[in-house]
Chain A
Amino acid sequence: MSEGFFSKKEVESQSRPDGKVYSCISCGNYKNAITKKMVPYGNFKKGILNVGEYPEELDDSRGLPFQSKGGRLLKRTYEKYGIDLVDDCLNINVIRCRPLTDDGEERLPTNFEIDCCRRFILKEIKERKPKIIMVFGMLAVYSLIGHRFKKSLEGITKWRGWTIPDQDFQAWLCPIFSPSQLLKDDENVAQIIFEQDIKNALIKLNEPFREYKEPTIHYVKNLNVLTTITSDIAFDYETTGVKPHLTEHKIICASVAYEDDKVYAFMMPDEKRRQPFINLLENPYIGKIAHNMKYEHTWSINKLNTEVQNWKWDTMQMAHILDNRPGITGLKFQTYVQFGIIDYSSEIEPFLNGIDNKNANSLNRIEELIKTEEGKQKLMRYCALDSIFEFRLAKLQQDEIFNVFH
């Protein structure tokens, strides 16, 4: 379980994310392209990095990205906002060589080909330090997010429009429809959305980057510390399953975020020692925040014999109210798009999956994890981060609602 001497970050490789070779040779696209291994193009005066999908015919013959119809549409759109595609931006595609079939027809690149080219894009980001990265189309999303996001990416409609303060890249990452795809679809609505997304993304040029603040996590055994809390809290449970109704199920640990960067985390003690926590949940003057409050509410009733008072905010419901696209309300997705933290759960995740996936009442493997002190610590940290992100998300959502009405 331990990371040992080095952190996970220190041992990750840019050139070989999973240790395998991703080379131009194994990709092979360079053999047929007129422009082999196209280099980035633009003066980059405003720090905008445009990441397109792949070189089309005209790009390939001219040796420059964004020369085709889609590129011209992007150029015109940018001009409306005073941005010059060449002077202000740096332009690249996730695939540097035009992908062709054996018959010489243009085709979509494969994920493997994108994997092979990824390190060149990452290198540009690292060296050029863009302020905003415009990510055009799903292939570009796959290139820049796919290797880090552990869940299914799904389609571009899920990603477009977010302005993500990506902490790995230290830049605002802005997925947008691919301009080439817009021209193919010929849908006015999509073009309006495309333009809106560009406009919203460009606002970030003048906003400071939203840096992630590491919270202070207090791992506590004596829950009397909870009696000092007087303001709203976000809280979260780690449990042995999804549904609390089976007698074998337990709440293993809990966390309570009481400030933007302060959180208590604890293994759930016996009935007597957990009373301060119960008092906190029952306190009608302290507002409660959760991500899917129904979950915490039901578990509290069934396992702690208490009904949570003064529910104030459900970040999951509010995420849906603010944006009703499917697949975006999960906490991990929200944590990435709002705070740029892409993965804080992959170490714990295997222990949270049900042993029998077909049975909703199935136990997960969380009790295996907590056999060691190290495992307990990891679980509590994960739980604490859940609460902190819920707390921060609630604040962001409240600001957004406030802005809508004022």
Chain B
Amino acid sequence: MIVSKIKLQRALEIVKAGLSNREIIEQATCFAFIDGKITTYNDEISLSTPFPELEITGAINADDLYQLLSKLKKDEIEVNISETEITLEAGRAKAGMILQSEIKLPLEELLGKKKWKVLPEKFLTAMDFVRGSASNNLSQPIITCVHVSSEGFLEASDSFRITRYNVNDIPVKTFLIPATSCTEVLQLTPTHIAEGKGWVHFKNEIGTTLSCRVFEDDKFPQTKLILLMEGQDIIFPKNSLEVLERASVFSKREHMIDEVVEIILEEKKLTIKSSSDTAWFEESLNFKYEGDPFTFMVTPYLLKGILSQTLNCTIGKDKLKFESEDWVYVTMLKTIKK
């Protein structure tokens, strides 16, 4: 069989996120070739993408294959298989790798027929918008998830802030998906969704599927009452966005949801602060506000999203709320002692 190295590399790149870095499950560190697809599985997510050019069934050590392909110069690769080995030839280079002919990954749960339903238009925008409010603290497992509610919204919270985005006609039952898996969902840009037992599946236009484990039997805490609040209406300064851009230089972290900036509201002054291990940033803006001084932390990309849509917010006794037609963001305020 002759296959294109670049095409194969692209396909492997798509499913790479489903690999495990430890073999917690047999073949979790392998690319599995089955039914004209390349599949990976790590018990949290599983990715599968069509690759009909390679008609083989078996599992190959992911690292070996991936590394080798990145070093081959020729694009055309001749692939041959025996019972136990797969050989790759590109120009004068030749390599052999163990092919585990039996697929031991527990794919039966994932490969069955699914009832695919079209994802609502705003689903991905909503997921991207709310996931930044999820907690990364595993001692609070439920709020490390994005809550996709069949009542027509997506929401996330780390218990200090809540973001809810309304999405009509969610075609599946309510589920809780880890915010870390949302990164993969967004990467996939799916068009369809299907529910499974303990899993939710997504599919994109080219037929790549992503299966994500959901939190079974758990319920997201009630947020309705927290989101309802009244208070003084204030307007964020027009150039807040610009300052936020500067502040976010030093708030960069490995994962976007770990990034935070501090906002300090004081009489007639709004300050945005950020820091990294090696640097810090602070800038104040004039601000029409005459209440008690408060501070809150926020993920900069989320605040950018908010401020690009509205500068109006409501400040209550201990909460601050931004709201638009589609979404609402409420954060707990921390009092600053005078």
Where the two chains meet, the residues of A that have a C-beta atom closer than 8 Å to any C-beta of B are 2-6, 8, 10-21, 23, 25-26, 28, 119, 123
Residue-wise, chain B 194-221 has the 8 Å CB interface mask toward A (1 for contact) of: 0000100000000000000101111001
**Residues on B with beta carbons closer than 8 Å to the beta carbon of A13:** 141-142, 215, 218
- Complex contact A12–B142 (CB within 8 A): yes
A147 to chain B, nearest CB (A): 12
Q: How far is the CA of A11 from the CA of B156 in the complex (A)?
A: 12
Residues A19 and B160 in contact in the complex (CB < 8 Å), given A14-B217, A26-B43:
no
- Complex contact A11–B213 (CB within 8 A): no
B140, CB-defined interface residue at 8 Å: yes
Q: How far is the CA of A19 from the CA of B218 in the complex (A)?
A: 12
- Complex contact A6–B25 (CB within 8 A): no
- Complex contact A119–B217 (CB within 8 A): yes
Candidates B160, B198, B218, B221; contact of A14 at CB < 8 Å: B218
- Complex contact A5–B157 (CB within 8 A): yes
Residues A19 and B159 in contact in the complex (CB < 8 Å), given A4-B332, A25-B25, A123-B217:
no
- Complex contact A6–B159 (CB within 8 A): yes
Residue contacts A-B, CB under 8 angstroms, 19 given: A3-B159, A4-B159, A5-B162, A5-B223, A6-B143, A6-B221, A8-B140, A10-B221, A11-B142, A11-B143, A11-B159, A11-B221, A18-B138, A18-B141, A19-B139, A25-B106, A26-B43, A28-B25, A119-B217
- Complex contact A4–B158 (CB within 8 A): yes
Q: How far is the CA of A8 from the CA of B135 in the complex (A)?
A: 13
B184, CB-defined interface residue at 8 Å: no
Where the two chains meet, the residues of B that have a C-beta atom closer than 8 Å to any C-beta of A are 24-25, 43-44, 106, 135, 138-144, 157-160, 162, 198, 213, 215-218, 221, 223, 226, 332
**Residues on A with beta carbons closer than 8 Å to the beta carbon of B221:** 5-6, 10-11
- Complex contact B138–A20 (CB within 8 A): yes
- Complex contact A15–B138 (CB within 8 A): no
Kindly name the residue among B138, B142, B332 whose own CB sees the greatest number of chain A CB atoms within 10 A: B142
Interface majority SS (helix, strand, loop, mixed), chain A = loop
Q: How far is the CA of A15 from the CA of B213 in the complex (A)?
A: 11
Candidates B144, B157, B215; contact of A15 at CB < 8 Å: B215
Kindly name the residue among B158, B162, B218 whose own CB sees the greatest number of chain A CB atoms within 10 A: B218
Q: How far is the CA of A311 from the CA of B198 in the complex (A)?
A: 57
- Complex contact B160–A5 (CB within 8 A): yes
**Residues on A with beta carbons closer than 8 Å to the beta carbon of B157:** 5-6
**Residues on A with beta carbons closer than 8 Å to the beta carbon of B143:** 6, 11
- Complex contact B217–A15 (CB within 8 A): yes
- Complex contact A26–B25 (CB within 8 A): yes
**Residues on B with beta carbons closer than 8 Å to the beta carbon of A10:** 142, 221
The 5 tightest CB contacts between A and B, nearest first, are: A4-B159, A19-B138, A13-B141, A11-B140, A10-B221
A348 to chain B, nearest CB (A): 15
B333 to chain A, nearest CB (A): 12
- Complex contact B25–A21 (CB within 8 A): no
CB-based nearest B residue for A18? B138
Kindly name the residue among A2, A19, A21, A28 whose own CB sees the greatest number of chain B CB atoms within 10 A: A19
Q: How far is the CA of A21 from the CA of B160 in the complex (A)?
A: 25
Q: How far is the CA of A23 from the CA of B223 in the complex (A)?
A: 29
Candidates A8, A15, A18; contact of B216 at CB < 8 Å: A15
Q: How far is the CA of A28 from the CA of B43 in the complex (A)?
A: 12
CB-based nearest B residue for A20? B138
Q: How far is the CA of A21 from the CA of B198 in the complex (A)?
A: 11
Kindly name the residue among A4, A8, A14, A23 whose own CB sees the greatest number of chain B CB atoms within 10 A: A4
- Complex contact B43–A23 (CB within 8 A): yes
Q: How far is the CA of A25 from the CA of B160 in the complex (A)?
A: 35
A181 to chain B, nearest CB (A): 31
**Residues on B with beta carbons closer than 8 Å to the beta carbon of A25:** 25, 43, 106
Residues A21 and B44 in contact in the complex (CB < 8 Å), given A14-B217, A16-B215:
yes
Q: How far is the CA of A23 from the CA of B135 in the complex (A)?
A: 22
**Residues on B with beta carbons closer than 8 Å to the beta carbon of A3:** 159
Q: How far is the CA of A152 from the CA of B43 in the complex (A)?
A: 30
- Complex contact A5–B159 (CB within 8 A): yes
**Residues on A with beta carbons closer than 8 Å to the beta carbon of B139:** 18-19
Q: How far is the CA of A6 from the CA of B142 in the complex (A)?
A: 11
**Residues on A with beta carbons closer than 8 Å to the beta carbon of B106:** 25
CB-based nearest B residue for A28? B25
- Complex contact B144–A19 (CB within 8 A): yes
**Residues on A with beta carbons closer than 8 Å to the beta carbon of B144:** 19
- Complex contact A17–B159 (CB within 8 A): no
Q: How far is the CA of A5 from the CA of B223 in the complex (A)?
A: 9
